[in-house]
A and B are shown apart, each in its own frame.
Chain A
């Protein structure tokens, strides 16, 4: 199949700004974007830089943005994303500096993974033989263990775009993998650490990492699991935990969301006044202040029973 690869070329040492260069490629039916790029490098332009190794979606080296979305080039079939003759745009991963062309500097990625202490920390004397754990306990972790550290989720994370201090999806999915491992002995310390600023509560739940992860790790869902574990373990003082609890309480009581009540419960009365008065006044003058008195739905008692039944 014929296609055109429009590749972002950039050498920060010699170029003031990136440029885009188009390369025609002719690939077999099951050709991947990586096949195309290697063809370009071998036959058309030997100066093109990219990372790759296994060509089978295992090593995690060839993450890049393809048509604006982070993907493994070796797992992306050209005929799945373009019609014959169409142009495919290939760029380096986002949220990271570019070393050259399609090669991103992953230092920040590794720093974040290291920051969550991604290794087992058992306490107490080691057992005489191997640790025994239930299949069920390990099954829960396998999804997170599928991570190949390719960086796709970090590339497209919408929070990292505005705040480089956020621990980010890959590191926090790894955090889940250890905090929920029955062999680990530092669950409470870990949860305390992950609930701090730049941790689990800073995720904006945009689903970007769920969409781009090539291995189904769904990092955001792992982050939600850590939030759940943190609240259950009693780390309830953060604004995020208070927001989640207040939200559930309000819907439990009335079946519907009451935005006024949510603000008051999340911030506390005085802090809500301080933080939200400006917003509230503007809304008042535009006749769009949420109702002051929130009415429950007629079947609210059934809803309450459902919440109680499920332990919330």
Chain B
């Protein structure tokens, strides 16, 4: 399985532990990734506040680069990149006249998007293309006894019409399926499909922190030992801002937050160092001890 790979800015910026963990897991499970090194930020929903047409042009440029490499699928490791790229792709594929208009902006660079690219997230690719059975066969360190709270991130859930939910209606249950294949137990709680609050952190921090505290405290109350997310922006908020959210809430939280590739990596034999488990704000030590994975 060969993919054009867009890691997103945050997996090498604010969450530098994600990129190597994702690459390690991808290699081991057999996802062949060709990184798009000249692709740009997707706009993350923010550039669209200035100009939607610009966002469409930026992402069409990335899609055209994948087409030039002869690849029909772009894989992301970020719910936010996933959502923005899927929305843009929906607009460009639905409306060939508009696509041609956008292609007009790319002509100077010798690029043109034909509309043949499909966007997927590593989480989707693992379930739909690799298959959970194959993933199960790779598990060498089952995460027995670990209770994991799934946290999806908005842009990999909504709006469903741009995210292929008609074809794959169970995409909002994949985290739970993966958690269980790894030998861990999925914790059900109401926060799993809600917002982490990251987009308003610079605007209304106390609201964003309240979201962090609500979701992490609810997950803990339902018995979670760790929380797992396929979105590095959610990770930034739920992990990096968790101490501040705890301060605002007036009670300790201390819920380790893992990236999805870290959770998978722990079960398929990678050590804590390769997975960057010590590069977290909330200590992942309880997880390392519970699972007994090598420290490296």
Contacts and interface: CB of A to CB of B under 8 A. Distances in A.
Contacts of A51: none
Given A243-B203, A267-B202, A312 B51 contact: yes
B77 to A, nearest CB: 15
A211 B40 CA distance: 27
A283 interface: yes
Interface stretch (B151-159, B220-228, B258-266): B151-159
A204 B200 contact: yes
B185 interface: no
A255 interface: yes
B38 A210 contact: no
27 contacts: A68-B190, A163-B207, A201-B203, A202-B204, A204-B207, A208-B158, A211-B157, A228-B50, A228-B51, A240-B203, A248-B50, A251-B47, A255-B41, A256-B9, A258-B13, A267-B202, A282-B243, A283-B240, A288-B279, A298-B37, A299-B38, A302-B109, A305-B109, A306-B54, A306-B61, A306-B105, A307-B54
B207 A159 contact: yes
B46 A243 contact: yes
Interface in A185-215: 197, 201-208, 210-211
Contacts of B155: 207
A245 interface: yes
A257 B15 CA distance: 13
Nearest to B211: A162
A208 B159 CA distance: 8
B154 A251 contact: no
A132 B214 CA distance: 50
Contact of A158 (B14, B50, B51, B195): B195
A224 interface: yes
Interface of B: 9-10, 13-17, 37-38, 40-41, 43-54, 57-58, 61, 83, 105-106, 108-109, 154-155, 157-160, 190, 194-195, 197-200, 202-204, 207-208, 210-211, 214, 240-241, 243-244, 278-281
Interface in A270-311: 278-279, 282-283, 286-288, 290-291, 297-299, 302-303, 305-307, 309-311
Contacts of A306: 54, 57-58, 61, 105-106, 109
Contacts, number: 171
A208 B193 CA distance: 10
A162 B54 contact: no
Contacts of B40: 251, 255-256, 297, 303
A310 B210 contact: no
A1 B107 CA distance: 55
B108 A202 contact: no
B207 A162 contact: yes
Nearest to A286: B279
Nearest to A251: B41
A119 B160 CA distance: 33
A239 B203 contact: yes
A224 B202 contact: no
Contact of A243 (B9, B37, B202, B280): B202
B208 to A, nearest CB: 7
A251 B46 CA distance: 11
Given A163-B210, A244-B46, A302-B108, A205 B199 contact: yes
